[in-house]
């Protein structure tokens, strides 16, 4: 057989050279002729009705236009699964950081200055920050619907019966906080019209094709009229899956017919993009005297914040991974995604599979301790092997090298 | 805003007397630029002293070590004049921010910014430093311990600037220890810090002790009650433990009602002890204490 | 806006420029001179993406006002020569992912190796401690700096 050219070799990253030279172009590095600059006005309240007055700001010398929901030509919404984000908040804001207006001016300095003249009147309404509170019937509603917008169930065997047969049962509640991706390149973008009159949006994004659809829908034009270009992306980790700068820039460029740029500060970046879901995990795990796992009952509550983003996929994954890589014959898992007035949460490295190990692995350690086993023994006893069946009924075929991996740990 | 780059100290004082409080000195700018950008400071003029050699550098006189306020943390770390009994000052300078911050940030800025977490202030307090303050045609000295008025505010008139920091060159049986608790290794503002200056005799009796804490009150300060307790005592496990207990009580009292009271008063014991042992080590030249 | 005249040498070239008095060095480099290899990750001295070498020392260009840089010599990533060993080691060791931290990292590494061709791992980590990287987990950056040091000493880098 011919020797492989690539597989098994260490290959230099194709764009590494440009990056070490400093010549790789990120959106903030783009400067175009006649380019205007935009800054975003964001809500400072978590839950309030708003009235916005942009007149004063609009009159400032050098301000080209202040965009609000009234200036969205198409649909004033976006969202990767549910269209529950507004491009600009129309009647109410649902979290600190909701975009309300976009000031476009000749220079960044003028746009920043004009910020001081935008008047936003807030009429605060009761807010909810604890997802368990939000699940209650009489809690404030973040959207015009029940705050619980997703419930995923896994049922396997008979947990109630199985718990009766267990030698030990360990019951605990685990909480993990929100986490920010903190990718190093804050959001930025440029939009302009090309020779054919199409809107071109250059932004660091994980989903140019998705963005194209969302931008087109908000502009009220065909997808073909929107081009999304992705230059160098300064880290993402899931945090660039939702819309941030794209639609604002597209609307501004289309309306003003000139290039418009925006660059978020680090602080605004924190406000603008999603977070990893905070979760509260109720775990009850039972085992036989020899350490064999018999039953798991788990309730996992994910704080989706003000918007859904990928919550369904994330909470489904949390549930699917709730047993960890361990065979358990009787399983009952309920996972929920809940709206609150917190920052919205979405994709971040692991997509829901990252939170649950905090719970299931600690359960394993506590069970081991109660049974007088070592952490390694209890894991070897229960870990997935070739042919194991997961709680959702998937039979693991092919290569499942977990046992070897745990064996390796013995020497530490 | 007017940007001024004077050629010498005289010009600085001239501008300061003209603009008074409307002009701000800018040294490394690592505090001030952030404040200006956040709108917390809005000076009419900035007077840059970052490249004024007159205000930089470390000198030794017969009795004193003198440090120019525009001396950077990096310059302190690299200075051979600061002998090893002053290790605590270097440790504090080395613990600031990051290499980039240490290359710009100055000891004068650290003092004048008057943050409770300013890392070089506790060691300078423990050294009983004196500040030389000048205005056009005037000059005065003030002990660093009397300098702070409130969080973020030192005792400086609008037309005055800090021109020198000085302290007595330590003797052989004296030592300055420092220890800082940050959330991580680099770029971590102090959660808590201690500096201890110690002189002991051959019998391990404490002749002089000066203790300064950082990030606890409104500004770094001396811990006089603990100093008083320790002075004249033989240093051993017992006295240290007593001192720690006293310190815990003092700090809990000071922070009473604040969320951090319990954590900080307990953590302070450990941080203080490390600073004290560091100082002791320098006095004795060996680390034989812990073994006794 | 009042303008101030400054003279700076950037990457070996002398400039005489009129700058706004509140302009930061990073804005001068990026917006005025289009030296966009210097990145802004935080604007507060926390991330080091804006690192440049000024007067032989690394500084955060977001925390220097342009007028303060008058009469100084500055090196940005664009001033590092084409076939530089540090840059090549970064490429070969897989120390570059998204690349946003890379210019600052390379300059921090250069500043270390200019003084010390035989740094310990701890010294390398200390030297890059003002530069955040969210992608690599730092290990590959550390090995890149080690390799560069070795190559500069005349070894083969392995
Ligand atoms: C990322 C980061 C990390 C940091 N980490 C630390 C840390 O770990 N520990 C720590 O202690 N600090 C830390 N700091 C804060 C800062 O670097 C220090 O306080 C530093 O000493 C400030 O010095 P400067 O020369 O930069 O001051 P500037 O910003 O130039 O000045 C600060 C203030 O002092 C005044 N001033 C300066 N010099 C004089 C003078 N000679 N006479 C009168 N007034 C004067 C200025 O007018 C201004 O009000 C950090 C800052 C940043 C941005
Ligand atoms: S942008 Fe200057 S340190 Fe982050
Ligand atoms: S490579 Fe992305 S931050 Fe370092």
Split at pLDDT 50, 70, 90, the class of B291 is very low
Is residue A6 assigned to a domain? Answer: no
CATH number of the domain to which A61 belongs? 3.90.1170.50
Range of the domain at A349: 131-179+275-407
CB contacts < 8 A (B, C): 84
pLDDT tens for A354-393 read 999 999 999 999 999 999 999 999 999 999 999 999 999 9
Which of C98, C107, C108 is the pocket-test mutation for ligand 3 (most atoms within 8 Å of CB)? Answer: C98
Residues A175 and A199 in one domain: no
Residues A185 and A95 in one domain: yes
Rounded to the nearest 5°, which phi and psi values hold at C15? -125, 145
B1-47 with B174-284: one CATH topology?
A: no
Q: Quick one: average pLDDT of B209-227?
A: 95
Residues A103 and A172 in one domain: no
Res. A321: pLDDT tops 80: yes
Chains touching A (at least 3 CB pairs under 8 A) are C
Residues A171 and A64 in one domain: no
Q: Which domains does chain C have, with CATH numbers?
A: 3-79 (3.10.20.30), 85-153 (1.10.150.120)
Using the structure block, give the residue that is written with the tokens 């030698």. Answer: A167
Two structure tokens written together for C137: 């987990």
Q: Does A266 sit within 8 Å of C42, measured CB to CB? A: yes
Which of ligand 2's atoms lies nearest the C-alpha of C50?
2
The CA distance from B51 to C6, in Å, is 14
The CA distance from B210 to B145, in Å, is 11
pLDDT at B287: 52
C62 Cβ inside 6 Å of ligand 2: yes
Q: Does C36 sit within 8 Å of A235, measured CB to CB? A: no
The CA distance from A204 to A187, in Å, is 7
Q: What DSSP letter does each residue of B116-156 carry, written as one string? A: TT-TTHHHHHHTT-EEEEEETTEEEEEEGGGTEEETTEES-
Mean pLDDT, chain A, rounded, equals 97
Q: Quick one: average pLDDT of A126-138?
A: 98
pLDDT at B292: 36
Contact B190, B119 (CB under 8 A): yes
Rounded to the nearest 5°, which phi and psi values hold at A202? -110, 115
Of A213, A230, A263, the residue that ends a domain is A263
CB contacts < 8 A (A, C): 100
Q: Does B99 sit within 8 Å of C68, measured CB to CB? A: no
Res. A160: pLDDT tops 50: yes
Q: Does A31 sit within 8 Å of C31, measured CB to CB? A: yes
Rounded to the nearest 5°, which phi and psi values hold at A15? -105, 10
The 8-class DSSP code of residue A304 comes to E
| Angle between helical axes of A356-371 and A375-382 (0-180°, round to 10) | 110
Q: Does B98 sit within 8 Å of C130, measured CB to CB? A: yes
Instruction: State in Å: Cα A357 to ligand 1 middle.
Output: 43
- Contact status of C59 with chain B (Cβ, < 8 Å): yes
Fold exhibited by the domain B174-284: Enolase-like; domain 1 (3.30.390)
Q: What DSSP letter does each residue of C82-149 carry, written as one string? A: TT-HHHHHHHHTT--SS-SSHHHHHHHHHHHHHH-SS--HHHHHHHTTT---SSS-SHHHHHHHHHHH
Is residue A387 assigned to a domain? Answer: yes
Is residue A20 assigned to a domain? Answer: no
Instruction: State in Å: Cα B20 to ligand 2 middle.
Output: 31
Residues A203 and A175 in one domain: no
Say how many domains are in chain A: 2
CATH number of the domain to which A158 belongs? 3.30.365.10
pLDDT tens for A236-283 read 999 999 999 999 999 999 999 999 999 999 999 999 999 999 999 999
Q: What DSSP letter does each residue of A315-358 carry, written as one string? A: HHHHHHTTT-SB--SEEEEEEEEEE-SSPPEE--TTTTTTTHHH
Res. A61: pLDDT tops 90: yes
Q: What DSSP letter does each residue of B1-57 carry, written as one string? A: -EEE--SSHHHHHHHHHHHGGGEEEESS-TTHHHHHHTTS---SEEEE-TT-GGG--
Res. A227: pLDDT tops 90: yes
Split at pLDDT 50, 70, 90, the class of A1 is low
Split at pLDDT 50, 70, 90, the class of B290 is very low
Mean pLDDT, chain B, rounded, equals 94
CATH class of B1-47: alpha beta
Is residue A17 assigned to a domain? Answer: no
Residues A40 and A151 in one domain: no
Residues A279 and A364 in one domain: yes
Residues A248 and A120 in one domain: yes
Res. B151: pLDDT tops 90: no
pLDDT at C48: 98
Res. B288: pLDDT tops 70: no
Of A234, A263, A292, the residue that ends a domain is A263
Burial (CB count within 10 angstroms: exposed 0-12, middle 13-18, buried 19+), residue B25 = buried
pLDDT tens for A394-406 read 999 989 999 999 9
Residues A293 and A375 in one domain: yes
- What share of chain A has pLDDT > 90, as a percent? 97
Q: Quick one: average pLDDT of C50-60?
A: 98
Split at pLDDT 50, 70, 90, the class of A197 is very high
pLDDT at B188: 85
Query: Domain segments of chain B: what residues?
Result: 1-47, 174-284
Res. C54: pLDDT tops 70: yes
Two structure tokens written together for C152: 């500069």
Is residue A25 assigned to a domain? Answer: no
Res. A346: pLDDT tops 60: yes
Split at pLDDT 50, 70, 90, the class of C118 is very high
Residue B152's region, left for phi above 0, alpha for psi from -120 to 50, else beta, is: left
Q: Classify A40 as helix, strand or coil.
A: strand
Residues A305 and A380 in one domain: yes
pLDDT at A109: 95
pLDDT at A198: 98
Q: Which residues of B touch C (CB under 8 A)?
A: 1-3, 5, 26, 28-30, 33-34, 36-37, 46, 48, 50-51, 74, 97-101, 103-104, 185-187
Tell me the chain C residues in contact with residue A239 when contact means C-beta distances shorter than 8 Å. none
Residues A50 and A111 in one domain: yes
pLDDT tens for B91-135 read 999 999 999 999 999 999 999 999 999 999 999 999 999 999 999
Q: Does C101 sit within 8 Å of A184, measured CB to CB? A: yes
Looking at the complex, report in whole angstroms how far the Cα of residue B138 sits from the nearest Cα belonging to chain C: 27
Residues A107 and A203 in one domain: yes
pLDDT at A77: 98
Q: Quick one: average pLDDT of A287-303?
A: 98
Is residue A296 assigned to a domain? Answer: yes
Q: Quick one: average pLDDT of B251-255?
A: 93
Looking at the complex, report in whole angstroms how far the Cα of residue B30 sits from the nearest Cα belonging to chain C: 6
- Cβ neighbours for B91, distance < 8 A, ≥ 6 positions apart: B123, B177, B178, B179, B180, B278
Of A236, A263, A290, the residue that ends a domain is A263
Which of ligand 2's atoms lies nearest the C-alpha of C42?
4
Is residue A8 assigned to a domain? Answer: no
Is residue A270 assigned to a domain? Answer: no
pLDDT at C157: 63
């Amino acid at each position: 057989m011919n020797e492989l050219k690539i597989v098994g070799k260490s290959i230099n990253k194709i764009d590494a050279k440009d990056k070490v030279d400093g010549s790789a172009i990120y959106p903030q590095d783009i400067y175009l002729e006649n380019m205007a600059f935009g800054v975003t006005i964001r809500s400072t309240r978590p839950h309030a009705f708003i009235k916005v007055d942009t007149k004063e700001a609009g009159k400032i010398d050098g301000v080209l236009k202040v965009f609000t929901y009234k200036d969205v030509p198409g649909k004033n919404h976006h969202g990767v699964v549910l269209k529950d984000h507004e491009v600009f908040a129309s009647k109410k804001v649902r979290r600190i950081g909701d975009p309300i207006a976009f000031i476009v001016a000749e220079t960044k300095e003028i746009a920043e200055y004009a910020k001081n003249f935008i008047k936003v009147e807030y009429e605060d309404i009761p807010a909810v920050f604890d997802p368990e509170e939000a699940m209650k019937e009489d809690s404030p509603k973040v959207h015009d619907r029940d705050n619980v917008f997703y419930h995923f169930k896994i049922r396997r065997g008979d947990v109630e019966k199985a718990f009766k047969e267990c030698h030990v049962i360990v019951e605990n509640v685990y909480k993990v906080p929100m986490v920010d991706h903190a990718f190093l390149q804050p959001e930025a973008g440029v939009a302009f019209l090309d020779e054919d009159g199409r809107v071109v949006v250059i932004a660091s994004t994980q989903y140019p094709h998705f963005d194209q659809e969302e931008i087109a829908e908000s502009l009220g034009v065909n997808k073909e009229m929107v081009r999304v270009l992705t230059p160098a992306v300064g880290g993402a980790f899931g945090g660039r899956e939702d819309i941030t700068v794209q639609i604002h820039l597209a609307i501004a460029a289309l309306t003003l017919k000139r290039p418009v740029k925006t660059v978020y500060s680090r602080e605004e970046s924190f406000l603008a993009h999603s977070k990893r879901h905070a979760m509260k995990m109720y775990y009850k795990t039972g085992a036989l005297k020899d350490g064999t796992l018999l039953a798991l009952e788990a309730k996992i509550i994910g704080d989706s914040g003000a918007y859904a983003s990928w919550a369904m996929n994330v909470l489904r994954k949390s549930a699917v991974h709730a047993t960890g890589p361990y065979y358990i014959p009787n399983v009952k898992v309920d996972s929920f995604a809940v709206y609150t007035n917190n920052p919205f949460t979405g994709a971040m490295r692991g997509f829901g599979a990252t939170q649950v190990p905090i719970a299931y692995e600690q359960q394993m350690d506590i069970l081991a301790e109660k049974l007088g086993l070592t952490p390694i023994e209890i894991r070897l006893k229960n870990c997935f092997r070739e042919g194991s069946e997961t709680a959702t009924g998937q039979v693991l075929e092919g290569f499942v090298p977990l046992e070897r991996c745990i064996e390796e740990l013995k020497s530490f | 805003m007017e940007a001024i780059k004077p050629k010498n100290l005289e010009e600085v004082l001239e501008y300061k007397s003209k603009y008074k409080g409307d002009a701000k000195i800018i040294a490394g700018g690592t505090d001030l630029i952030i404040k200006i950008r956040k709108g917390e400071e809005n000076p009419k003029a900035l007077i840059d002293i970052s490249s004024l050699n007159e205000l930089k550098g470390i000198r030794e006189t017969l009795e004193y070590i003198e440090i120019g306020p525009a001396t950077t943390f990096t310059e302190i770390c690299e200075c051979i004049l600061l002998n090893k009994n002053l290790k605590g000052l270097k440790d504090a300078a080395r613990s600031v921010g990051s290499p980039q911050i240490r290359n710009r940030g100055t000891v004068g800025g650290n003092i004048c910014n008057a943050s409770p977490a300013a890392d070089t202030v506790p060691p300078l307090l423990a050294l009983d430093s004196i500040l030389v303050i000048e205005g056009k045609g005037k000059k005065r000295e003030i002990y660093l311990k009397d300098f702070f008025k409130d969080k973020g505010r030192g005792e400086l008139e609008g037309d005055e600037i800090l021109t020198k920091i000085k302290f007595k060159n330590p003797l052989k049986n004296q030592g300055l220890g420092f220890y800082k608790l940050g959330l991580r290794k680099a770029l971590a503002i102090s959660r808590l810090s201690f500096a201890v200056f110690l002189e002991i005799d051959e019998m391990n009796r404490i002749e002089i002790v000066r203790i300064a804490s950082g990030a606890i009150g409104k500004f770094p300060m001396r811990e006089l009650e603990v100093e008083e307790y320790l002075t004249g005592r033989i240093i051993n496990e017992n006295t240290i433990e007593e001192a720690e207990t006293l310190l815990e009580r003092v700090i809990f009292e000071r922070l009473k009602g604040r969320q951090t009271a319990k954590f900080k008063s307990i953590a302070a014991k450990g941080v203080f002890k490390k600073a004290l042992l560091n100082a002791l080590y320098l006095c004795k030249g060996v680390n034989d204490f812990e073994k006794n | 806006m009042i303008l101030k005249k400054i003279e700076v040498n950037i990457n070996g070239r002398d400039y005489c420029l009129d700058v706004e008095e509140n302009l930061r060095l990073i804005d001068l480099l990026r917006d005025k001179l289009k030296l966009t290899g210097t990145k802004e990750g935080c604007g507060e001295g926390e991330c080091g993406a804006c690192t440049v070498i000024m007067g032989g020392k690394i500084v955060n260009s977001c925390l220097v006002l342009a007028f303060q840089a008058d009469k100084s010599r500055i090196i940005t990533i664009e001033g590092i020569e084409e076939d530089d060993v540090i840059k090549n080691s970064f490429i070969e060791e897989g120390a570059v992912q998204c690349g946003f931290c890379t210019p600052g990292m390379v300059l921090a590494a250069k500043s270390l190796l200019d003084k010390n061709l035989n740094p310990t791992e701890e010294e390398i980590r200390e030297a890059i401690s003002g530069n955040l990287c969210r992608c690599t987990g730092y290990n590959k950056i550390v090995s890149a700096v080690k390799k560069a040091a070795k190559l500069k000493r005349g070894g083969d880098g392995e």
